[in-house]
Amino acid sequence: MPELPEVETTRRGIAPALGHATPQKAVVRQPRLRWPVDSDALQRWCGAPINTIQRRSKYLILSNDKGHLLIHLGMSGSLRVLPQDTPAQKHDHIDLLLDNSHLLRYTDPRRFGAWLVHFDTDPLTHPLLSQLGPEPLSEAFNGDHLYAACQKSRRAIKVLIMDSKVVVGVGNIYANEALFLAGIHPATPANTLTPAQTDTLAATIKQVLARAIEQGGTTLQDFTQPDGKPGYFAQQLNVYGHAGKPCPRCGTPIQILTLGQRSSFFCPRCQPV
């Protein structure tokens, strides 16, 4: 599933070809995504040059003077910029034809993604965006913010950092990895963490996400290749998916438990209860 680093990598991959291009027409072959694609609204949004391509949480926001196009990649979505004569394949559900002889193509085998048009001056007023917590790589997310959120909750710390009202974009992989690097057991009740621990955890969350975005940078050329699988890249992980394997720090076998219906991987020695 595309997580925040993959979405940010996608933004960086498509931005050079999209910036200041004008979408002329949308071709919707399959409107049944997570929510029905409003083809009429999409056509009305076309016709003005794209000014900015931003990311908020896992949403890409393409903005022009008419409004905003919000794109979510869901479970299996990807975007590429291709020449307009590139034949569409089975799961290529939407094309945005640009005035520079290219198109933005959306591919999504499982169709859990979203294409939503928002006609407002501020894209962040959209209901899906208006309630979100801070971006993990912004200054607004820091140890103090995390400590304040922890004080109000007895939930397991891993569940808390995956709550988009606390901080956006910390998916399961990154929550596991950040807690390992911080030496914090994933089931620790949030309100028992010290300010020093929340400082460390905020820092390791930033570290794992920034490193993943850096690794994604090696795949940017895939966004203009017809046969590429853009936005997905191999990562070096310490604990995620490593149940039974030795901890890279101390050699103790990594254990697994379920928290909030998600698998949690941890080293019982490096991350004591």
Is residue 267 a contact point for Zn ion (CB under 5 A)?
A: yes
| Half-sphere exposure in the Cβ direction for 190 (13 Å, CA) | 21
> Per the annotation, where are the binding residues?
91, 110
| Helix spans in the chain (H) | 4-18, 39-45, 143-151, 157-161, 172-182, 195-216
Is residue 270 a contact point for Zn ion (CB under 5 A)?
A: yes
Nearer to Zn ion, 206 or 269 (CB): 269
> Per the annotation, where are the binding residues for DNA?
91, 110
The DSSP secondary-structure symbol of 156 reads B
Does the annotation count 135 as an active-site position?
no
In whole angstroms, what is the distance from residue 186 CA to residue 158 CA?
A: 5
Instruction: From the candidates 11, 55, 56, 58, give the one annotated as an active-site residue.
Output: 58
To which residue do tokens 């949004």 refer?
45
In whole angstroms, what is the distance from residue 201 CA to residue 189 CA?
A: 14
CB of 157 to Zn ion, least distance (A): 18
Instruction: From the candidates 34, 206, 249, 262, give the one annotated as an active-site residue.
Output: 262
Does the annotation count 253 as an active-site position?
no
- Contacting residue, 141, 178, 247, 264, with Zn ion by CB under 5 A: 247
- Contacting residue, 101, 225, 250, 263, with Zn ion by CB under 5 A: 250
Nearer to Zn ion, 75 or 250 (CB): 250
Nearer to Zn ion, 143 or 268 (CB): 268
Q: Judge residue 166's burial from the number of C-beta atoms within 10 Å of its C-beta, 0-12 exposed, 13-18 middle, 19 or more buried.
A: buried
Helix axes 195-216, 172-182, angle to 10 degrees: 130
| Half-sphere exposure in the Cβ direction for 99 (13 Å, CA) | 11
Nearer to Zn ion, 4 or 270 (CB): 270
Stretch in the footprint of Zn ion (CB under 5 A) among 71-79, 206-214, 230-238, 251-259: 251-259
In whole angstroms, what is the distance from residue 111 CA to residue 94 CA?
A: 11
Q: What is the DSSP string of 91-148?
A: TEEEEEEETTSEEEEEE-TT---EEEEE-SS-GGGSTTTTT----TTSTTSSHHHHHH
CB of 238 to Zn ion, least distance (A): 9
- Contacting residue, 249, 256, 259, 262, with Zn ion by CB under 5 A: 249
The length of the chain, given as a count of residues: 273
Does the annotation count 3 as an active-site position?
yes
Size of the site for Zn ion (CB under 5 A): 7
Stretch in the footprint of Zn ion (CB under 5 A) among 25-33, 52-60, 76-84, 261-269: 261-269
Stretch in the footprint of Zn ion (CB under 5 A) among 112-120, 158-166, 219-227, 248-256: 248-256
Does the annotation count 83 as an active-site position?
no
The residues that are catalytic are 2-3, 58, 262
Residues near Zn ion (CB under 5 A) are 247, 249-250, 252, 267, 269-270
